[in-house]
């Protein structure tokens, strides 16, 4: 479910910073009462000031900020935040009805030391009808454990989904130690799905290889909470399923990319090398931090081919630098996405000098996070398809160096009649 339309935040009125002097682990029924009260107050008094609304929330509620939400310069609603006693932060968002239905969300984050842990979210219609809720559960150290869905009465539905589950054990007879290993760097994968049962690379003790460089733990489970921790996105499972579908003899080494500090990509490259990955597919783009350490780590490993997605945005990367898609390394291929006629997909980055190849990546068969078959497109899918092709070529030509493999992939590129040159070596029409 998409919670909010695309908006720009502006007109912020800051009343005071949140202050939490006495964090508690379970605010109990009071939090549910406060959230229900916030939704009711938003419906009954949508034009109240920030301080007036705080008064409706009961004792101990103090205003923090008010910000106007805009979409394409048009006011779309507002967001407000309040501290609740000493134990957390309540954020209320109202998207006013325009051409689409409006909505209200109320989210509570629990204070734990200097951290705020998102804990409870309730989604309601603009007329205060609760649609559903979601609760995040943490262990005693404040580490996220599970996502629990609540019904319209805010009662729990089912046991909740674990967000960092253990890997399943190795399938009997699954060794394939000589298989080409492909590292996939994205939002992680749902490694509990049957499609990955025999596809995971493992060490000689049967332990799966890979790592979560976002949470810094050995469980790269698919989750991207940047838009909302209560409604995380799942891209990596689809991307990795392309490699499994198109290079079934290969073994994958899954990584969850480092966020927000991409300087950890250097550690990831070293780990992938230690795991025996010959090919590294980087399906995400952008990120904050320095890429210098990654460049040094990648350049020092000529035995590794790195395939990086050009990324979304429709930008000419010859003009707009956005690493890793603009890195120039002797063992890297920057790839963008094309349709079945060889035309660069709308919204995909390109560059006659900076982007080496385009790969057909439109309406590609994938398996999604829940295990259902689907279709996907984009530059991340292009990176996965090119990595799968590279793995198949390398399996047939095991003595090739990465320089030779890279050259052979470039040879497969074709120009498309009537289309402007938007990559250096054309499009692979496979």
Pairing outcome for strands 332-338 and 357-360: parallel
* Domain assignment of residue 116, yes or no: yes
Do 138 and 232 lie in one domain? The reply is no
Of the candidates 112, 135, 162, which is a domain's last residue? 162
Confidence of residue 8 (pLDDT cuts 50, 70, 90): very low
Residue 94 lies in a domain: yes
Q: Are residues 366 and 235 in the same domain?
A: yes
Q: How many domains does the chain have?
A: 2
Nearest to 31 by CA among 92, 105, 104, 87: 87
Residue 180's CB is within 10 A of a number of other CB atoms, namely 23
Residues 224 and 320 in one domain: yes
Q: Which of the pair, 402 or 139, is modelled with greater confidence?
A: 402
Residue 361, number of CB atoms within 10 A of its CB: 28
125 and 262 inside one domain: no
pLDDT at 28: 65
Say whether both 277 and 391 belong to one domain: yes
Same domain, 157 and 280: no
Do 193 and 129 share a domain, yes or no?
no
pLDDT digits (tens, 9 = 90+) for 235-280: 999 999 999 999 999 999 999 999 988 899 999 999 999 999 999 9
Average pLDDT of the segment spanning 22-43:
75
Average pLDDT over residues 225-236: 95
Residue-level pLDDT at 100: 58
Looking at residue 259, which CATH number applies to its domain?
Answer: 3.40.50.200
Q: For residue 4, is pLDDT > 50?
A: no
In a domain, 222, yes or no: yes
- Asked if residue 310 lies in contact with residue 286, where contact means CB atoms within 8 angstroms, the answer is no
Judge whether residue 1 has pLDDT over 50: no
107-116, 226-235, 281-290: range with highest mean pLDDT: 226-235
Burial 109-125 (b: 16+ CB within 10 A, else e): bbbbeeebbbbbbbbbe
Residue at 320 is within a domain: yes
What's the pLDDT score for residue 15?
A: 54
Q: For residue 169, is it within any domain?
A: no
Q: Is residue 22 very low, low, confident or very high in pLDDT (cuts 50, 70, 90)? A: very low
| Residue 253 vs residue 110, higher pLDDT | 253
Task: Provide the residue range defining the domain that includes 53.
Answer: 8-162
* Residue pointed to by tokens 């979409």: 71
Q: Are 206 and 303 found together in one domain?
A: yes
Average pLDDT score over residue span 179-208:
96
User: What six digits make up the tokens of 210?
Assistant: 């890979």
Residues 48 and 191 in one domain: no
Give the pLDDT mean for 171-178: 72
Q: What local confidence, expressed as pLDDT, does residue 119 receive?
A: 93
More confident residue, 139 or 2: 139
Q: Over range 293-308, report the average pLDDT.
A: 95
Decide if 333 is inside a domain. yes
Say yes or no: 135 and 201 in one domain: no
Same domain assignment for residues 384 and 270: yes
Please indicate, yes or no, whether residues 135 and 256 belong to a single structural domain of this protein: no
- Identify the domain boundary among 127, 162, 197: 162
pLDDT at 342: 96
Give the lowest-confidence range in 11-20, 100-109, 156-165.
Answer: 11-20
């Amino acid at each position: 479910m998409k919670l909010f339309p695309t908006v720009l935040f502006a007109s912020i009125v800051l009343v005071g910073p949140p202050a939490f002097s006495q964090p508690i682990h379970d605010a109990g029924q009071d939090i549910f009462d406060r959230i229900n009260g916030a939704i009711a107050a938003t419906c009954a008094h949508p034009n109240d000031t920030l301080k007036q609304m705080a008064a409706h929330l009961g004792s101990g509620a103090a205003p923090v900020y008010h910000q106007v939400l805009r979409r394409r310069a048009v006011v779309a609603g507002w967001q407000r935040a309040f501290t609740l006693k000493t134990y957390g932060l309540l954020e209320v968002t109202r998207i006013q009805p325009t051409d689409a239905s409006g909505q209200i969300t109320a989210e509570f984050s629990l204070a734990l030391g200097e951290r705020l842990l998102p804990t409870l979210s309730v989604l309601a219609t603009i007329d205060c009808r609760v649609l559903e809720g979601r609760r995040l559960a943490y262990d005693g150290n404040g580490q996220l454990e599970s996502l629990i869905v609540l019904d319209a009465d805010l009662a729990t539905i089912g046991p909740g989904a674990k967000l960092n589950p253990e890997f399943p054990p190795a399938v009997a007879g699954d060794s394939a130690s000589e298989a080409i290993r492909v590292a996939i760097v994205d939002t992680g994968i749902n490694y509990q799905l049957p499609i990955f049962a025999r596809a995971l690379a493992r060490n000689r003790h049967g332990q799966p290889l890979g790592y979560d460089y976002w949470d810094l733990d050995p469980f790269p489970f698919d989750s991207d909470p940047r838009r909302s921790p209560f409604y995380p996105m799942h891209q990596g499972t689809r991307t990795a399923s392309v490699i499994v579908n198109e290079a079934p003899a290969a073994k994958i080494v899954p990584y969850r990319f480092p966020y927000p500090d991409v300087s950890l990509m250097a550690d990831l490259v070293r780990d992938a090398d230690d795991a025996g990955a010959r090919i590294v597919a980087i399906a995400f783009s952008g990120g904050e931090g320095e890429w210098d350490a990654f460049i040094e780590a990648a350049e020092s490993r000529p035995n590794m081919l790195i395939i990086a997605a050009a990324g979304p945005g429709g930008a000419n990367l010859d003009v707009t630098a956005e690493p890793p898609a603009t890195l120039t390394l002797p063992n890297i291929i920057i790839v963008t996405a094309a349709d079945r006629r060889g035309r660069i997909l709308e919204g995909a980055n390109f560059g006659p000098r900076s982007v080496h190849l385009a790969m057909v990546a439109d309406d590609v068969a994938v398996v999604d996070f829940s295990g259902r078959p689907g279709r996907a497109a984009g530059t991340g899918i292009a990176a996965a398809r090119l990595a799968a092709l590279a793995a198949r070529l390398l399996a047939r030509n095991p003595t090739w160096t990465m320089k030779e493999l890279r050259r052979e992939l470039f040879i497969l590129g074709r120009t498309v009649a009537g289309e402007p040159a938007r990559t250096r070596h054309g499009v692979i029409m496979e």
